Every structure is written in C-alpha cells, then in structure tokens.
Amino acid sequence: MRRLRVVPAGEGVFAELREALAGGDAILVGEPSPELPDHVEQRIALVVETSGSTGRPKRVALSADALLANAAASESALGGPGQWVLALPTHYIAGLNVLARSLAAQTEPVTVAGKHFTASAFLDAVDRMSQPERFTSLVPAQLATLLEDRAASRALAGFAAVLVGGQATPGQLVDRAAGAGVRVRRSYGSSETSGGCVYDGVPIGTTAVRIVDGEIWLGGPSLAEGYLGDPELTAERFVSDGGVRWFRTADGGEFDGSTLTVTGRRDDVLISGGVKVAVAAVERVVREQPGLSDAVVVAVPDARWGEVPVAATASRDIDADAASAAVTAELGVAARPRLVQLDALPLLASGKPDRLAIRAAVLGLLEKGPRSPRG
C-alpha cells in the first residue's frame, strides 16, 4: 500500500507530482475529505477528482506509468519537448497534464498568475519563459480571451502548439485562431485516460479506439486504474475484451480506422415530442452561428413537448431567429432551441461551463415567460 496525501492547488503541486511519479506518496490535489482513505494501492500515484458538471463526482486513480505514457505520447505528437505555460487549475487533469509533460520534457512550467485568467497575466507568463519551443493548454473561453487581445494573439502565434479541449471547441473559434497564425490542436480525452489522448481526431502514441454500439471505447497505456472506492463503477466503465482493457467513455462517435469524430454524450439526449434530440449536436450548430461561440445548450421541461433545448448565451449581438433556423435545417424541428440571454455564463474552476448552474439560471428566467420554442 501507498500513503495518500492531499496537497493544496498551486505552484507547489509541480514538486509534489514529481515526488509522486518517482515513487513517493500518492497525491490528490484539492481539499481534505473524511471520505478519503489514508492509503491506496501501490500502483496509484495520483487521484483526480472530476468536476461533476454532468454527473456525480468521481475520484479517478492514475498510475505513474499511465501519466508518463500520456506525456510521452503527447510530446511525440507535438513534435518534441518544450516549455509549457500553465493556464489551467492544478486540481484538474488538464492542468496536471501540463505538469506531467513538463516533467517528461525536463522543463519548468510557467504559471499564469491571478485568480481569474486575463490576457495580461498570460503575457506576463510568456515574458517569463526561457525556452524557444513553447506550448500551452487552454479551454475555449481562454483561447477566445487571448484572440481578442492583439498582443496576446501575437504571442500565442509564437507557440509551437496550443492544445484546446476537444469537440466543444467551436469551429468558428478554431478558424479565428488559424487566421491569427495560432496552431491549435483539438484534444479529446478525460481523467480516465490521463487527459487528452486523441489530437485532431487522431489517437496519439499507442492509444486504441473502437466503437461499440455507437459508444467510443479507448484503450492503451494511459488508462486509469479505476475509481477510488467505487469498484462497481470501475467494473462498469473499465472492461476487458479479448485480453485488451478498455475505458467506456459514454461518448458517441464514429471511427474510420484513422480519425475519430465525437458526436456528443450518449447520455445527454432529451426527448421532445417523442423525438430524441442530442443536446451536443444542437450546441454544435448554435455555436457555429455569428456571436454565439459561447452558447451552452441545456434541456428544460416543457408542458407540451416534455423537454425542449434552450441555448444560453452572454452575447448581446445575436440573431436568435437565424440560429434557430440553422438548427432546424440541420437537425429537425424537434431540435429547434429557444435562445436566452444571461448576464454571464457560470463557469467551473476549470473554465468549463457550469451546466448545472446554467440550467438553474435558465429555468429561473423561463419562469417569467413561455418556455416552448416551438409553436
């Protein structure tokens, strides 16, 4: 067995992770909890708590071998080692990935200072870099913030690659980045795969992909050991088939043998008037419309249709009718969303949309008027 210690988020996590990967105590970055055991299995080096934005929180147990395998695969896919800017929280896998890649590359990461991400804080971090080959990992909202600042956009264009989280990244935002000379690589993965293991649809390293009944299964050396203290969920999500261990992602997708296309969460489907509607598909189309790259689509109850999709945005310069028409044309009338404007979209500490809070805000707003976007 191996001792498990809880360490606070911050710059000290880099040294703590180095010790954990070298065989020291296992760590969990976050706050102490009476539910946590004092010891874990010897193979476990890191425990990552998921955000719980779309379901119950989980504690993912990762080995040093898995984390370092992911870091090595990432380095190869990005063309070699370099120095990283840490712009993401260190209690999430994306932030911890930056630290693991830095350890593998034997470079010091440079942390963006401040409680809230700003273009000026990012530029300050860039000024403190010492290596010519530069990388960073961002969420879409952070990328948008940097592209809106001329100096930050120019600095970002000097990076060898900018990883941005997966299918939720609007194509419009990627096009803007390309136009500014920024080399964006869309990353897909989760805590259960030690972070991103598919870049621009292509599996990195020896990551394996298969589609089973429309669900994406991922395999390879970066898979987690399972969920701490939850053997039932571990058995459900991590399965063996033909001597190969797989992680069932619960994401829908298509794989042609070389390129993976993620179509959205399989469990994120609403039934509107008896018709199944994929929330992720609605969100994708809405986000491609002018001024709506920040949109988040949630399902809300409706007296007539059962459930309907509603797109929330903080933007004020939008054409709601055009956006609804675009969704209808591509996905059908059952998918046509109502658009509502919030003062701001609640975010998790990771920078991702807080979908539970957004849905609560939408429901509160819709109580003041009719809910159905369909006549």
List the CATH number of the domain containing 302.
3.30.300.30
Residues 218 and 321 in one domain: no
Residue 146 lies in a domain: yes
Residues 244 and 340 in one domain: no
Residues 297 and 209 in one domain: no
Residue 34 lies in a domain: yes
Domain termination site, one of 261, 285, 319: 261
Cβ 362 vs Cβ 298: under 8 Å:
yes
Token pair of 212, please? 């089973």
Paired with 298 in beta bridges are 310
**Number of compact structural domains in the chain:** 2
The rounded distance, in Å, linking the Cα atoms of 358 and 364 is: 10
Residues 282 and 248 in one domain: no
Residues 230 and 293 in one domain: no
Domain termination site, one of 233, 261, 289: 261
Residues 119 and 185 in one domain: yes
Residues 177 and 275 in one domain: no
- Tokens 């991702």 map to which residue? 352
Residues 193 and 321 in one domain: no
Our CA dihedral for 239, 245, 247, 252, rounded to 10 degrees, sits at: -90
Residues 160 and 292 in one domain: no
Q: Give the CATH number for residue 182.
A: 3.40.50.12780
CA 374 vs CA 14, 320, 324, 371: distances in Å: 52, 13, 10, 9
Token pair of 52, please? 């719980």
User: For position 53, what pLDDT does the model report?
Assistant: 41
Residues 150 and 296 in one domain: no
User: For position 220, what pLDDT does the model report?
Assistant: 97
Dump pLDDT digits (tens) for 283-298.
989 999 998 999 999 9
Domain termination site, one of 261, 294, 314: 261
Residue 374 lies in a domain: no
User: For position 51, what pLDDT does the model report?
Assistant: 57
Cβ 367 vs Cβ 310: under 8 Å:
no
User: For position 372, what pLDDT does the model report?
Assistant: 44
Residue 373 lies in a domain: no
Q: Residue ranges of the alpha helices (H) in 223-319?
A: 231-237, 279-287
For 239, phi then psi, to 5°, come to -125, 155
Residues 218 and 342 in one domain: no
Residues 239 and 279 in one domain: no
The rounded distance, in Å, linking the Cα atoms of 342 and 81 is: 42
* Segments forming the whole domain that contains residue 136: 2-261
Residue 375 lies in a domain: no
User: For position 269, what pLDDT does the model report?
Assistant: 79
Cβ 136 vs Cβ 159: under 8 Å:
yes
Residues 6+ apart with CB under 8 A from 50: 57, 58, 59, 60, 191
DSSP 112: P
Q: Name the stretches of the chain with pLDDT < 50.
A: 52-55, 370-375
> Among candidates 112, 154, 162, which has minimal Cα distance to 133?
162
User: For position 168, what pLDDT does the model report?
Assistant: 64
Residue 165 lies in a domain: yes
> Among candidates 127, 126, 216, which has minimal Cα distance to 162?
126
The rounded distance, in Å, linking the Cα atoms of 212 and 189 is: 17
